[in-house]
Amino acid sequence: MQINRIEETEVSHAAGRAVRSPERPPAHLTLRGLTKRYAGRTVLDGVDLTITPGEFVAIVGRSGCGKSTLLRAIAGLERPDAGHVGIGIGAGGGQNAAPEVRMMFQDPRLLPWKTVLQNVALGLQGADERARAALASVGLAARADDWPAVLSGGQRQRVALARALVHEPQLLLLDEPLGALDALTRIEMQELIEALWTRRGFTAVLVTHDVQEAVVLADRILLIEEGRLALDLDVGLVRPRVRGSAEQGALERRVLEYVLGPQRERISA
């Protein structure tokens, strides 16, 4: 109920901004031969990938496998040495409007000298109303006027999520945003992200080292190894998912075997 109301305010405000379709369809993402090198070391080695609109994709892999670099390249924070990143809306591309892409970082990266509300409204003019609505959607409406310093780690990450959501992203990139949270807060955040994704229907790409998290949240799990796509697995579990179900456990084990056993024979997915 509450979230419905929020969507309405956002749509009415969106009219005053850039020329975009009011519905904000989710974006699709295409990577072609994406390559990135750092000082001679190849971090991403010709990654090809297509993500359909509205899909929730999780990218897993060992630390240093290039999964974060991949996400940063999609976000435009890294310039690829070769290859192409294509983000668009609809079959013919979204006319002259670039799709709204937002990124959530590992750390919340809130400006400590701005209040929670000002942080959410960062880069927007006269968007207090929308920022409040976004805060309400992550359950922090009451903390709008607090400094980030007095929030807990989980609350800060929720503010960062609200800050991304206020832009009505069509592609939301999540770079291990829950990595530093305690187990219970993680579960709460996972549920919140899933609920918001279900309501709003944006395309989501989540980088995580937690296979369980990937299995719980994603439609599709990608494994990156030494800069290449090593596995592309459809999760195919119905939502809402029951945490700790037998199917999840089996899938989790399967993905873990891939991650942990690089020498084992691969089954083409």
Partner 1 sequence: MHAGPTAQSTLRRALAGFAPWALPVLLVAAWEGAARLGWLSSRVLPEPWAVVKAFHDLSSSGELWHHLGVSLGRAAIGFGLGAGLGLLLGLVNGSSRRAATLLDTTLQMIRNIPALALIPLVILWFGIDEAAKQFLLATGVFFPVYLNTFHGIRSVDAGLVEMAKSYGLSGWSLYRDVILPGALPSILVGFRFALGLVWVLLIVAETISSQDGIGYMTMNAREFLQTDVVLVGILLYALLGKAADVSARGLERYFLRWNPAYR
User: Which of 15, 19, 149, 238 forms a contact with partner 1 (CB under 8 A)?
Assistant: 149
Nearer to partner 1, 72 or 132 (CB): 72
Task: Provide the H-helix boundaries in 22-165.
Answer: 67-75, 116-120, 128-137, 153-165
147 near partner 1, judged by CB under 8 A: yes
Q: How far apart are CA 165 and CA 196, in angstroms?
A: 9
Nearer to partner 1, 80 or 211 (CB): 80
Total residues at interface with partner 1 (CB under 8 A): 20
113 near partner 1, judged by CB under 8 A: yes
Measuring CA to CA, which residue among 97, 102, 129, 98 is closest to residue 11?
Answer: 129
Q: Which residues of 204-235 are buried (b: 16+ CB within 10 A; e: fewer)?
A: bbbbbbbbbbbbbbbbbbbbbbebebbbebeb
- Cβ at position 77, least distance to partner 1 in Å: 7
Q: How far apart are CA 74 and CA 145, in angstroms?
A: 33
- Cβ at position 57, least distance to partner 1 in Å: 20
User: Which of 5, 17, 84, 109 forms a contact with partner 1 (CB under 8 A)?
Assistant: 109
| Enclosing H/E stretch for 31 | strand 28-38
Nearer to partner 1, 150 or 250 (CB): 150
Contact positions toward partner 1, by CB under 8 A? Answer: 75-77, 102-103, 105, 107, 109, 111-114, 122-123, 147-150, 163, 167
